[in-house]
Amino acid sequence: QFGDPPVSKSLGQFLASGSRRCHLMVEEPGTWPDPLQMASDVARVWTVELCDSLFESLDDSPQMSPRLDSWLAASARSRAALDPMLVDETTMFEGKVVAELMRLAPDGCAVGQGHTSFKLKVGARAIPADVKKVAWLRMAIGNDFSIRLDPNRAWTLDQAEVALHAFQPYGIELLDEPLRSPEPGDMRRLSDATGVALALDESISGAAALSAFIEHDAADYLVLKSARLGGPTRCVEIARLARTAGIKVMVTDSIESAVGMSTAVHLASGTLASWNRRRRWRRAIFSGWIVLRS
């Protein structure tokens, strides 16, 4: 492995599983690319010198495959297009990219068009790097909009506590799936220790899984993905259980096609909204009064 930890969730989970025999980390002097301590071996060398030495040790010069040749050509074209935009490359990172896009985008592109929340992925890098990213976003959007963070189960309980205390100055609205092993008791301890609202997503496979978190009062939000949970009907069943327990429900998709996204939109704007209206109507009748609602 060269460079920082991978941002791919699937690859990160594979590396964390320990199923590979050898994970060699190439670490240049002055860098720390393995904050999660997943590497089995670390080589502290300069990357260019290592590659030159490996190339010289080969008996014959390797022949580039057509696929590698086309990939290198595409990379060169991309670099040629991006270099003029990134005059000071060393200072560019995710958080600053967001801030720069906000500054360069036309007026009303995001803020002012009804969007009130901004979500960032965190957990793929060291906590200080994530704090810097969140700080840049808060500076870009000001204090009138909320920030939501999603570590994709990147942290242990101790790491999550450290991260949330570090994020505290930037007013985090909620944290989505922070723990690598999301046990209900640990989620409750994290909530009590930091006071930050916590959201469940991948941890919930059905109503039974949600019930365990409800028993510990371990979640404030629930993220529903229709494709992962078995369709909109099951989502409504789970949403009813969540709302009964006082858990707020959010609907999204799993980066799907137009069909999956359309399902999510209808689920959010139609099915759940209709259920909420019916629930309010039943409460009105059972309370002994009836109010017509638009």
Residue ranges per domain, the chain? 9-85, 94-286
Percent of the chain with pLDDT over 90: 24
| pLDDT at res. 232 | 84
For CA atoms 99, 103, 104, 107, give the dihedral sign: positive
* Pick from 57-61, 227-231, 232-236: least confident: 57-61
**Does pLDDT of 58 surpass 50?**
yes
**Does pLDDT of 222 surpass 70?**
yes
**Does pLDDT of 291 surpass 50?**
no
pLDDT band at 145 (very low <50, low <70, confident <90, very high): confident
**Does pLDDT of 244 surpass 80?**
yes
CA distance 131 to 119: 14
Average pLDDT over residues 28-57: 80
Which of 16 and 146 is assigned the larger pLDDT?
Answer: 146
Alpha helices by DSSP H, the chain? 9-17, 47-57, 66-82, 94-104, 127-141, 157-167, 184-194, 207-215, 226-229, 232-244, 258-266, 272-286
| pLDDT at res. 171 | 92
DSSP string, 125-158: S-HHHHHHHHHHHHHHH-SSSEEEEE--S-B-HH
DSSP string, 26-76: E--TT----TT---SEEE-S-HHHHHHHHHHHSSSPPPPPHHHHHHHHHHH
pLDDT tens profile 94-111: 556 666 666 665 555 555
The CATH number of the structural domain formed by 94-286 is 3.20.20.120
